Amino acid sequence: MNVYHPRVSACVWLIGMLLLGALGLKTLSRDWLETGFLALLPKIEQRPEIAEAIERHSQLINRKVIWLSGAASAEAAIANARKLERQMSDSGLFGKITLKISQDQAVNQYKQLFAYRYQLLDAKTRNLLETNPQALLDQNLEMLYSPVGQMQAAMLERDPLLLFGRTMNSQKPNNLNLEQGVVVLRDGQKVWALLLADLDNSQLPLEKLENLLQLTQNATAEIKKAGGELLVSGLPLFTAYGSESAKQEISTVGAGSSIGIILLFWFTFRSVRPLLLSATAIASGLVAALIISIWVFGKIHIITLVFGASLIGVVDDYAQHYLCDSFGERDWNPRKGLAAIFPALFLGLISNLLSYAGLGFSPFPGLQEVALFSAVGLFAAWLTVVLLFPMLLTGFQFAHEPALLKLAVIWERDWPAWVAKNRSWLAPTLLIVLASGIWKLTPRDDVRLLQSAPPALLQSAEKISQLLQVRDSQFFLVSGKDQKEWHRNEQQLLEKLETLVQNKALKSYEGLSRYWPDPEAQRNNYRLVKQKLFDSGLAERYMTNLGFDRAAVAAEAKAIIDAERNTLKLEDWLVMADEGKQSLWLGCAKDRCSGIVALSQIQDFAALTSLQQLPGVVWVDHVEELSSLFARYRIRASVLLFSAFALVLTGLCFKFGWRGAATVMAIPLVSALAALAMTGWFNQLFSLFNLFALLLVLGIGVDYAAFFFLAGERRLSTSLAVTLSGLTTLLSFGLLAVSSTEIVHAFGFTVAVGIITAMLTAPLIGTRAKAVSDQKYT
């Protein structure tokens, strides 16, 4: 303070803000807001092929939205779907919209694959040929003479044995049909028309998510008004709802904190200048936090802004302590006031920075962003108070005694006296409440808690999954040293999965080798057809009985001889396959070829995970891996929390001695235990994020305790400052507790309970702490 000059310090602050503004002009001009749910998730260290499989799986769903238009008839369902298609096209949101299946594409695929009809056999056809080839031909005759036989009769001339028709039908889901070129499916009395769309931007910018949400709501209302029903699902829609919820929470927390601070400041100080100064500290902190975070990370997630809005009540603490100190003495001046509270301000800053730095050890990008955002915001607000306030408060004094000060006096004087009088029963009661609440804690480490979604969307997604057999997030990764070994390994897995389907362990599965046989399998299929149908004479008798002339029979016999050398390579087959099947192949790299086997509607996870004992098979459950990561880091966060308490205690020992340090640390310790106990008593979510919230409780608790410990003769103004600080911070983090995202809610609940406890226990540091402090500095 001997070299402190308010004007020079204010100039330093102004220069810093100007430089920050210049950086902001460059930083904020680009797309800096991240909305995607996957951006919140950490990268898991694992083998490259597994990481690639997860990435491929994620890419397929990251932009895709599935729509099902339901009505009492196919005509109505298709009409509604076509109207929806026009709305989607006009919206400009989608790069690809698929309603009507291109007949040319189907014809081209048919022409290209038809030459390999003897090599491409589905499993049922192959089994019949091996066991009872006559039964296969009898089934053909039965089908030809049935009501649906006219559809097959058109193919009979080109494919008299109907082998290719069987193969193509086996690759189409049983409940899907084409009407007017549109994929439809029937569910009881209702018919659904399928429409698929891909957003044209995988980055999912906020404005497009808002438009997607509005489009969905409008389309749902219109189709319902027309007597139909619309089901819609997809990760972009979940992201849109999450972003909309986050926007509302930013508004709620930001507006709630701002209104609360304005009312409290006006009620307390009755002057515009303190309110403007406080607003300056808050604004400088938030602007600095936003610009520096974007500069470091490139993009920040919208959830970071939710936590950033809650920071309003925290960054204002330093301004409140400074302003409230002016009520402590009649001859108060800004320089003298800063000198008196600077040690407590500095300790409060260090403890808070250490607390937020602890969040940076999290593997979750979102929490790392929150850590930097909050630390920068706190530091910038602190610098604003220390560098700018002394000059702007020169000559300013309060000429009134705020009503809140009277309440703070009662709280500071009477509450500790009541606690001391009743400590004989309060202490054991507190121990029982804390111990029993902590005993009730049950960890929940589910990564899906990061995302919130309304029940209607979850029900719609579940219904679509049942109707379309949408892939689950779990899958098998199958590999081999070459395509041959990969194919053999996958075939062994598919045989086991078929058994599990029969046992109702899952609804369906999908693997490339189910549709594409490798060259060896193709040769075996060809030999099987030739021996069982042609060499045996069954094909000739069958065609003759159907009325084919000798020329047609001879042409078919020549066709199978000519096809002997035909081999369909995987690369050629993939060119003709749809996007879903293409995504199952990961390709060959170095000495490994890999593919994905997708699953739908899993019922028995234990039965599936046991299959990874098969050669070349790995069970991949990204959700479970992330949840396991949650659990592991929850344990590490417990160690980190303990270390943070020990580190702060050690630092305080150098400043206050071990007795003084223990006195100060008792406040955040009791506050943290109370937060955990109330989490257990109220059956709140307990996860990794609660422990990171306790790091903030540590910083805030040390802040309040240090101010009371160093208050000396300024206990009244300190009580007012801590009361104001606690109320504004409680407004911010307490409002997080109303979040629809369960993890954000739990974070807010934990911090709110910790703040309330710290406010209640900090004044208990009374004359004894003062005596220790006096002894230390005399």
DSSP per position, 39-101: GGSPPPP--HHHHHHHHHHHHHHHSEEEEEEEESSHHHHHHHHHHHHHHHHHHT-EEEEE-BP
Span 493-525, pLDDT tens digits: 999 999 999 998 888 898 999 889 999 999 999
Q: Which amino acid is at 12?
A: V
What's the pLDDT at 725? 80
What is the structure's pLDDT at 129?
92
Cβ neighbours of residue 247 closer than 8 Å, sequence gap 6 or more:
206, 302
C-beta atoms surrounding 354 within 10 Å: 18
Which segment of 435-439, 557-561, 603-607 scores lowest on mean pLDDT? 603-607
Contact in structure between 497 and 597 (CB atoms under 8 Å): yes
DSSP 148: T
* Cα distance between the two ends of the chain: 20
Distance CA 188, CA 708 (A): 71
Average pLDDT value for residue range 283-300: 89
Mean pLDDT confidence for 380-398: 83
Element (H, E) at 179: strand 176-179
Both structure tokens of 569: 């390579």
Model confidence at 602, pLDDT cuts 50, 70, 90, reads confident
Q: Which two tokens stand for residue 602?
A: 């899993």
CA distance 696 to 693: 5
Overall average pLDDT of the 216-232 stretch: 91
Q: pLDDT band at residue 491, thresholds of 50, 70 and 90?
A: very high
Give pLDDT, residue 40. Answer: 63
- Whole-number Cα distances in Å, 622 to 40, 380, 447, 663: 14, 39, 10, 46
What is the rounded average pLDDT of the residues 755-760?
Answer: 91
| Alpha-carbon distance values, 84 to 87, 220, 557 (Å) | 5, 10, 50
- Residue with tokens 């009395």, as numbered in its chain: 189
Partners of residue 190 on adjacent β-strands = 187
Angle of helix 519-529 versus helix 123-131 axis, rounded to 10: 40
Query: CB neighbours of 589 closer than 8 A, spacing ≥ 6?
Result: 49
- Overall average pLDDT of the 427-450 stretch: 87
Distance CA 703, CA 321 (A): 11
Distance between CA atoms of residues 17 and 585, nearest Å: 53
Q: Tokens 């220790």 label which residue?
A: 772
Write down the pLDDT at residue 38: 58
For residues 191 and 72, the answer to whether their CB atoms sit within 8 Å is yes
Predicted local confidence at residue 428, as pLDDT: 93
pLDDT band at residue 772 using 50, 70 and 90 as cut-offs: very low
- Residues 193 and 176: their CA atoms lie apart, in Å, by 10
- 482 has a pLDDT exceeding 70: yes
> Where residue 770 falls among pLDDT bands split at 50, 70, 90?
very low
Cα-based distances in Å from 168 to 163, 378, 516: 9, 64, 12
The answer to whether the beta carbons of residues 242 and 85 sit under 8 Å apart is no
Please say whether the beta carbons of 346 and 385 come within 8 A.
no
**Overall pTM > 0.75:** no
The predicted pLDDT at position 30 comes to 77
Using the predicted structure, report yes or no on whether residue 768 has a pLDDT greater than 60: no
Angle subtended by helix axes 767-777 and 688-709, to nearest 10:
70
Give the mean pLDDT of 39-58.
Answer: 65
Can you tell me the mean pLDDT for 291-320? 78
pLDDT of 242: 76
Alpha-carbon radius of gyration of the chain: 35
Average pLDDT, the chain: 82
- How does residue 651 score in pLDDT terms, banded at 50, 70 and 90? confident
Phi, psi of 569 (to 5 degrees): -75, 150
β-bridge partners, 229: 70
% of residues, the chain, pLDDT over 90: 22
Question: Are 306 and 747 a contacting pair, CB within 8 Å?
Answer: no
Q: Distance between CA atoms of 548 and 553, rounded to whole angstroms?
A: 7
CA distance 349 to 355: 10
pLDDT for res 773: 41
Rounded Cα–Cα distance for residues 151 and 110 (Å) = 16
Lowest mean pLDDT among 456-460, 487-491, 731-735: 731-735
Average pLDDT over residues 336-348: 81
What band does 466 get if pLDDT is binned at 50, 70 and 90? Answer: confident
3-state secondary structure 688-756: HHHHHHHHHHHHHHHHHHHHHHCCHHHHHHHHHHHHHHHHHHHHHHHHHCCCCCHHHHHHHHHHHHHHH
User: Which pLDDT does position 149 carry in this prediction?
Assistant: 57
pLDDT for position 71: 92
**What is the CA 595 to chain-centroid distance, rounded?**
26
Residue 354 confidence (pLDDT) above 70: yes
Contact by Cβ (8 Å): 260, 320? no
The three-class DSSP label of residue 196 is: strand
Residue 249: what pLDDT? 73
Return contacts of 216-222, CB within 8 angstroms, 24+ apart.
216/240, 218/87, 219/84, 219/87, 222/83
Nearest Cα neighbor of 629 from 57, 48, 43 is 43
Say yes or no to pLDDT of 687 above 90.
Answer: no
Rounded CA gap, 697 and 755, in Å? 7
**pLDDT recorded at residue 154:** 66
Whether residue 2 has pLDDT greater than 60: no
- Which two three-digit tokens encode residue 209? 């998510």
**Lowest-confidence segment of 323-332, 348-357, 708-717, 768-777 by average pLDDT:** 768-777
pLDDT for 369: 85
pLDDT for 682: 92
Determine the average pLDDT of the residues in 558-563. 92
**Per-residue pLDDT at 778:** 38
pLDDT at 414 over 90: no
Cα angle 731, 734, 739; round to 5: 125
> In which element (H, E) is residue 187 found?
strand 182-187
Q: Is the pLDDT of residue 628 over 90?
A: no
Residue with more model confidence, 653 or 303 = 653
Question: Is the pLDDT score of 111 beyond 60?
Answer: yes
Mean pLDDT along residues 136-161 = 76
Please give the helix or strand (H or E) that residue 508 lies within, else none: strand 508-510
Q: Which residues of 164-181 are buried (b: 16+ CB within 10 A; e: fewer)?
A: bbbbbebeeeeeeeeeee
Q: Any residues with CB less than 8 A from the CB of 282 and at least 6 apart, and which?
A: 261, 312, 315, 316, 319, 381
Amino acid at 105: Q
Please tell me the predicted confidence (pLDDT) of residue 152.
Answer: 62
Label residue 506 exposed, middle or buried (CB < 10 Å: 0-12, 13-18, 19+): buried
